[in-house]
Structure 1
């Protein structure tokens, strides 16, 4: 059960899908919605021997930061409506603030905005949250849509991260109407994959969760595409996956399922590390 949902609120409209998703999940589980407003004051980067220009610039930017945090809280409360809430503001980089606040949450909602031109001072890094926060992260796609979680695709790989993701997703899985556990693998791994997915389905059944197994034979570089194809085919709006079974650097340079699910999510994605 999720008793508390954590989300980073920003004043920009691009954060709206994330806030709407967090509010929907909090309502679904009758959870407290914890909102974090966080922004870090940037250094001037200006050569000023007398310090006057730097002082003026700092004062302007400090006021802007205060205005942004106030607007972020207003956006948070608009989406929260009548939900039980807890609001916190930090003069801190958002990723750091969320990682620290995660001690008070069961689930973090991130994403919901294009990642191009991400601003460290104002925006949270979803990949860093997954790795460092110690909590599952629900990534909202940039396109605004309503979260349901009624049909779920479990993107299975026989790794620690995938096992953790299934356990973390159990509150969603117990409420879902249809679940497919799918592994994408090379042809010589198909027999093992059938065994893996069947055991996961049996494990879920012992928890009162009905699911079916599926194995797709495809090259590694097609795994992300196949996951999205299957999710669309079964009308799933939630994908559950382990994150960064390989090193993050290798995923970033060479691409990978984790990378594609974070940077270009087509559905809601629950990730665990």
Structure 2
């Protein structure tokens, strides 16, 4: 399996440069095209009585949006130099809706973590939770400050669900190139989650795997899987994203929510 097109969300937040460099490094390694994608909503003016003044405010906001998109394109061109094949797509509109639509031509979508302590990435940022629910593609979540992903030591956070099976399948190009792959199952019923069958599936694709059953009752499942990943010096985690939409409210379970906000390593997720 190959990765032919990697799509990266570009905004003007502090972590954007590292995210683009990380995606460009992956594209160079896999011989993939790297596509930068940005959306900038035009924020409507505050209602006022003077129609002419409102029109001027709207025109100024449109100019600001165009300038932000140009700045994002320049950032992408500067930081994506490692990728041999590059493309750029942008729109004056919703960054989430635009990225979700453009991802129809992508094999992998790269976005940034947005935890409580990660700072404000601005109006061009794409929230990974809603994106996971809409995109229909694997999403690589990258923490701030990471500009390179070797993906040589990978932890698969396994649970016998559709989402986890999808994530393992989507991650095969990376798993096949890893030096070490660990399947880790968390919880008191860890031995009933079919980890050995998941390992056999990967072995059939040439991946050498070890399985681990983690049953610590003292800490949360998210903390336990992240502690295991640190112990194994992993730089990538693969897992299913468990959530649902209710009237456009994006609801995720505890483990998914905690990983989305706090993961210190890259995480490939599928829903």
Counterparts of 1:164-243 in structure 2 under 5 Å? 164-186=166-188, 189-193=189-193, 196-219=194-217, 222-243=220-241
Deviation at 1:271, TM superposition (A): 0.2
SS at match of 1:13: coil
Q: Distance in 2 between matches of 1:191 and 1:82?
A: 43
Where does structure 2 lack aligned partners over 5 or more consecutive residues? Answer: none
Q: Which residue does 2:44 correspond to in 1?
A: 43
Calculate the aligned-residue CA RMSD, in Å. Answer: 2.2
Where does structure 1 lack aligned partners over 5 or more consecutive residues? Answer: none
Counterparts of 1:1-273 in structure 2 under 5 Å? 1-44=2-45, 46-81=46-81, 83=83, 84-112=85-113, 114=115, 121-186=123-188, 189-193=189-193, 196-219=194-217, 222-244=220-242, 246-247=243-244, 256-273=254-271
Q: Distance in 2 between matches of 1:82 and 1:19?
A: 10
Q: Distance in 2 between matches of 1:234 and 1:119?
A: 31
1:179-213 residue CA offsets vs partner (Å, 9 max, x unmatched): 10000012xx14314xx111111111111100100
1:17–1:140 CA contact under 8 A, matched in 2 = no
Q: Distance in 1 between matches of 2:218 and 2:207?
A: 29
1:38–1:91 CA contact under 8 A, matched in 2 = yes
2:12–2:124 CA contact under 8 A, matched in 1 = no
CA separation of 1:98 and 1:30: change in aligned 2, threshold 3 A: same
SS at match of 1:92: coil
Deviation at 1:63, TM superposition (A): 1.3
1:17–1:141 CA contact under 8 A, matched in 2 = no
Q: Distance in 1 between matches of 2:135 and 2:252?
A: 24
Which is helix-richer, 1 or 2? Answer: 1
Q: Distance in 2 between matches of 1:128 and 1:63?
A: 28
Q: Distance in 2 between matches of 1:169 and 1:123?
A: 24
1:9–1:15 CA contact under 8 A, matched in 2 = yes
Aligned length: 266
TM-score by length of 2: 0.91
Return 128-137 or 256-265, whichever deviates more: 256-265
Q: Distance in 1 between matches of 2:22 and 2:78?
A: 13
CA separation of 1:176 and 1:31: change in aligned 2, threshold 3 A: same
1:17–1:145 CA contact under 8 A, matched in 2 = yes
Q: Distance in 1 between matches of 2:232 and 2:168?
A: 19
Deviation at 1:54, TM superposition (A): 1.2
